Amino acid sequence: HYDVNADLESLHRLIAWVDACCPFMGEEELRALGDPDFPGIQRLPIRPRVATAPIIERP
């Protein structure tokens, strides 16, 4: 996914799809949950982030 370049329409479609699948909580509510912590999390190749996830500027 690192080298994927989507055109503007595809990016808008992806944003709409993600937003449509998350109608119950907004960004503020999700970030308030904090980062997950559970047994075995240290074995994951990439640690899940919620509160400390980067903020993406949307077009």
Query: What is the distance between the alpha carbons of residues 16 and 6, in angstroms, rounded to a whole number?
Result: 14
Query: What is the distance between the alpha carbons of residues 22 and 15, in angstroms, rounded to a whole number?
Result: 11
User: Is the pLDDT score of 41 beyond 90?
Assistant: yes
First to last CA, the chain: 19
> What would the pLDDT profile of 2-40 be if each residue is shown by its tens digit?
788 889 999 898 888 887 776 677 788 888 989 999 999
Q: Domain ranges for the chain, please list them.
A: 1-54
